[in-house]
Amino acid sequence: MGLLLLGLVWLLLFAWRGLAVNQRGLPPVKPHLEEVNRLFVGETRAFLEDLKEVGPFLPVDGLIVVVLPVEAWDLPWYGYDWIYDIVDGLVASPAFHLVFEPGAPINEAAVAEDKLDGAYLVTGAELPEAFARRAEELARRPHLTLYRIGR
Amino acid sequence: MESMIDVGLALLLIPVAGAVLLRLADFRRQDLGLAWLPISWSLGTLPVYLLLFVCGHLGRLSAARGLFLPLLVLGFLVAVYSRRSAFVPRAAATGQGRPFWLLLPAALLVTCWWQQADLPYAGDELAIWGGRALCALEADDLGPGYHERVSAAIARGEQAHADYPLLNTLLQAWAMMSGKAELGAATRLPIQLFDLAALLLLAAIAVERCRPVFLRFLVVVMPFMTFWYAAPQAMSDRIVAFAALLAVDGLVPAPGRSARAAALRVWLGLALLVATKNEGAMLAGIIVLAALPAVWRREGKRGIARFGRLLVPAASIFIGHWTWAWQLGFENDLVPMSGGGQGLVAVLFSARSLDRVPALGGLVLRDLVLDPFAGAFLPLVLLGAILLCWRRLAAAWLPLLVAALGLAAFLLVFLATPYDLKWHWSTAGPRVVSQLDLILALALLLLLGDGTVAGDVEAGEISPGRG
């Protein structure tokens, strides 16, 4: 009886946490373009700090994308290891994505000023055409890796 | 599609080679029960690895493809005409079961792969494993041409860890030699199949060692529903997890299993561990260290000598690989042998590692205990099983000890990493520690045993290599 209960508790734990966590953990292949509707370009750190405040309250079908022109493991070398501190506060939002764009030219000056061209927020009511084109272009690149940040 | 069929046929040769080797070593299908297929697959990868390694070292990697089939046919003919045990009656091993019941968990895993079939080939699977396979094929060797290409890729920031063992890389090269020379689903397949082999092996172990049907089904299925097992990526962690399960299972006695069958599991598991990853070699060392006291206590010097013979394949692969890496000047980034960088050992004995303990503890609690992302809640369920079946704890001591020592070793690496802890953990932590999941699952199966909560058992006896 005890062992049966143990098995049932295990199943319940998995159903409660496992399915949701695993869904979040599996890297999606392409962004959902129909949900893309606002571009943000600016200071990366300030942008992410803002997200930390609003991220958990965004609608589930919204999408936040941050594009970094480096591989994930290069972040510390470019001084972006603090991103992990910030995204820890964002995991409650299933709509948050970090996009790493390996091979993209790194603008050293922009990095020094903490401004990344590719960081943008996608939510709201309007869809600028220029951004839609950019997002479509990103989605078509075979080498682009899209990570969902979550645990 | 045509390319996939070619790759499929080339991969089919791997379990066939394993089956031929098993027959040459006088093993019948009944001797290994349901574990015959996963053992055939994993055993078959070793001749592919060794042939490619030797041909690559001699400067003609592509010659391996032409040599493999004639060697396989020769082995098959010898196996058929020797028939050493044809008239020797032997009892079938335990854990026979009906293969039909394995179809459901296997279908679940394949469905997960299918849903994510278009996952981009990127990250570590490209930078560590796949990229080197492309370099080896382009250079057609594992010597100067390979060194030049890998070094250039590392300088461009496209690759890392040139010192890592080559089993994964060479299996992907084998798939490309038979199909298109590009990385993707076809080259992931030989690595993914280790997950399927692990699932079948765990199912075979469950049938052999555990009676409660509901729980043994959960133990077999749950680890493979986690991210690290369900994602179709060509990562080596899954080979390490499979090999560790195989070796530890061989070291825990099972009623009705022959000592030869146990010894086969031990040496094959240890050899695969060493051929796959540096962490695999570390885990192999931990398994040997954990098992040695019991071997000494039960069987004395002769037992140690018998156990020592089982380490020869792993030791040969280890020496061969590191001689090759040393000749080409590849060294480990965590433990630099030259250059004066701040390596693992230096950080471990500094105050920096102690400062990291609380942060690392939090990460472990979050990612391994309270979350099924990497560990499928196995530590929590194991705790429950220990409380319920504490009298059977003696039966599960070896996998529990290996898992505890393995976890401690992995965590020490993170405490002493020369990199930023959070960054290193987020890129590798849950994935690396999930290599211990299947050993935890084995411990759980042993604890559950016949399903009686207050069952009493004798302490497990280790007798690999006897007979």
| A2-23 average pLDDT score | 78
Contacts with B423 from chain A: Cβ below 8 Å: 73, 75-76, 81, 84
Question: Which residue in B226, B373, B453 has the most chain A C-beta atoms within 10 A of its own C-beta, making it the best mutation to test that interface?
Answer: B373
A-chain residues near B222 (CB < 8 A): 10, 14
CB A5 within 8 A of CB B372: no
| For B366, nearest residue in chain A (alpha carbons) | A151
The pLDDT confidence band at residue B117, using thresholds 50, 70 and 90, is confident
Residue of A nearest to B359 (CA): A85
Average of pLDDT values for B111-138? 84
Residue A92 pLDDT level (bands cut at 50, 70, 90)? very low
Question: B123, A71: Cβ pair inside 8 Å?
Answer: yes
Query: For the ranges A71-80, B310-319, B355-364, which has the lowest average pLDDT?
Result: A71-80
Q: Which of A119-123, B130-134, B318-322, B441-445 has the lowest mean pLDDT?
A: A119-123
Q: Dump pLDDT digits (tens) for B444-460.
A: 999 998 766 544 444 44
Q: Which two tokens stand for residue B455?
A: 């069952």
Q: Tell me, what's the pLDDT at A38?
A: 36
Tell me the chain A residues in contact with residue B366 when contact means C-beta distances shorter than 8 Å: 151
Of A135-139, B107-111, B320-324, minimum mean pLDDT range: A135-139
B385 vs A117, higher pLDDT: B385
SS3 call for A52: helix
Taking 70 as the threshold, does the pLDDT of residue B297 lie above it? yes
**Once rounded to an integer, what is the mean pLDDT over residues B112-135?**
83
Q: What is the pLDDT of residue B250?
A: 95
pLDDT(A108) > 90: no
Residues of B with Cβ-Cβ distance to A143 under 8 angstroms: 120, 122
Interface contact flag, A151 B420, Cβ < 8 Å: no
Q: What ipTM was estimated for this complex?
A: 0.76
User: Cβ contacts (< 8 Å) between B231 and chain A: which residues?
Assistant: 26-27
What distance in Å separates residue A25's CA from the closest CA in chain B? 7
pLDDT value for B34: 87
Express each pLDDT in B131-177 by its tens digit. 999 999 999 999 999 999 998 887 766 777 889 999 999 999 999 99
Most confident of A17-26, A67-76, A82-91, B296-305: B296-305
B24: pLDDT strictly greater than 70: yes
Range name among A62-76, A123-137, B399-413 with the lowest pLDDT average: A123-137
Assign B106 to helix, strand or coil.
Answer: helix
Confidence (pLDDT) at A130: 47
Average pLDDT over residues B374-390: 91
State residue B138's pLDDT score.
94
Question: Given this model, what pLDDT does residue B369 score?
Answer: 87
Name the minimum distance, in Å, from the CA of A60 to any CA of chain B. Answer: 21
Cβ of A2 within 8 Å of Cβ of B371? The answer is: no
**Across the interface, do B123 and A26 touch by the CB < 8 Å criterion?**
no
Residue B227: list chain A partners with CB under 8 A.
Answer: 22, 25-26
B299-310 pLDDT, tens digit each: 888 889 999 999
Q: Is A29 within 8 Å of B119 when comparing Cβ atoms?
A: yes
Q: Choose among B214, B227, B427: nearest Cβ to A73.
A: B427
Percent of chain A with pLDDT over 90: 1
Q: Which residues of A touch B (CB under 8 A)?
A: 2-4, 6-7, 9-11, 13-14, 17-18, 21-22, 25-27, 29, 71-76, 81, 84-85, 102, 142-146, 151
Q: What pairing do the DSSP bridges indicate for beta strands A63-68 and A96-100?
A: parallel
Q: By mean pLDDT, which of B63-67, B275-279, B417-421 is the weakest?
A: B417-421
**Contact of A61 with A95, CB cutoff 8 Å:** yes
How many contacts does A have with B, using Cβ atoms within 8 A? 102
Please report which helix (H) or strand (E) contains residue A67, including its range: strand A63-68
What confidence category does residue B81 fall into, taking pLDDT thresholds of 50, 70 and 90? confident
pLDDT at A94 over 70: no
Decide which of A28 and B307 is more confident.
B307
Q: Which of B107-116, B216-225, B401-410, B431-440 has the lowest mean pLDDT?
A: B107-116
Domain coordinates in residue numbering, chain B: 2-79+108-332
- CA distance readout (Å), B128 to B374, B404, B433, B445: 21, 28, 18, 34
Placement of tokens 């080939």 in the chain:
B121
pLDDT, residue A1, reads 83
Residues with Cβ within 8 Å of A92's Cβ and at least 6 positions away in sequence, in order, are: A55, A56
Backbone dihedral angles phi then psi of residue A72, each to the nearest 5 degrees: -55, -40
Nearest neighbour of B231 by CB, restricted to A26, A72, A74: A26
Mean pLDDT of B340-367: 75
CB B228 within 8 A of CB B374: yes
* Model confidence at A122: pLDDT above 60: no
User: By the 8 A CB rule, do B228 and B109 touch?
Assistant: no
pLDDT of residue A76: 64
- In tens, the pLDDT along A50-71 reads 655 554 444 434 445 555 555 5
Provide the token pair at A55.
């991220």
Kindly determine whether residue B120 and residue A81, on different chains, have CB atoms separated by under 8 Å.
no
Handedness of CA B445, A21, B276, B293 (dihedral sign): negative
Q: Looking at residue A147, what is its pLDDT? A: 39
CA distance B376 to A114: 39
Chain A CB contacts of B377 below 8 Å: 10, 13-14, 17-18
| Rounded CA separation A30/A135 (Å) | 10
Q: In the predicted model, what is the mean pLDDT of residues B88-93? A: 55
Chain B hits for A145, CB-CB cut-off 8 Å, are: 120, 122-123
Q: Does residue B322 register a pLDDT over 90?
A: yes
Helix/strand/coil for A91: coil
B122/A151 Cβ within 8 A: no
Question: Which of A9, A22, A29 shows the shortest C-beta gap to B373?
Answer: A22
Residue A124 CA to residue A35 CA, distance in Å, equals 9
Q: How far is A144 from chain B (nearest CA, A)?
A: 8
Identify the DSSP state of B254.
Answer: -
Per-residue model confidence as pLDDT tens digits over B34-50: 899 999 999 999 999 99
Q: How far is A68 from A77, CA to CA, in rounded Å? A: 13
What pLDDT is attached to residue B272?
A: 98
Chain B residue with CA closest to A28: the answer is B119
Instruction: Say which residue, B455 or B252, is predicted with more confidence.
Output: B252
Q: At CB < 8 Å, which residues of chain B contact A? A: 116, 118-120, 122-123, 127, 157, 160, 212, 214-215, 218, 222, 225-227, 230-231, 366-367, 370-373, 376-377, 380-381, 384-385, 388-389, 419-420, 422-423, 426-427, 448, 451, 453
**Which residues share a beta bridge with B303?**
none
Instruction: For residues A46 and A115, give the distance between their C-alpha atoms in angstroms, rounded to a whole number.
Output: 10
Residues in chain B closer than 8 A to A89 (CB atoms): none
Q: Does pTM surpass 0.90?
A: no
Tell me the three state secondary structure of residue B61. Answer: coil
What mean pLDDT value characterizes chain B? Answer: 85
Other beta carbons less than 10 A from residue B377's beta carbon: 24
- Assess whether pLDDT exceeds 60 at residue B92: no
What pLDDT, on a 0 to 100 scale, did the predictor assign at position B136?
95
CA distance B451 to chain A (A): 7
Span B84-108, mean pLDDT?
65
Q: Which residue of A has its CA nearest to B422?
A: A84
pLDDT band at A19 (very low <50, low <70, confident <90, very high): low
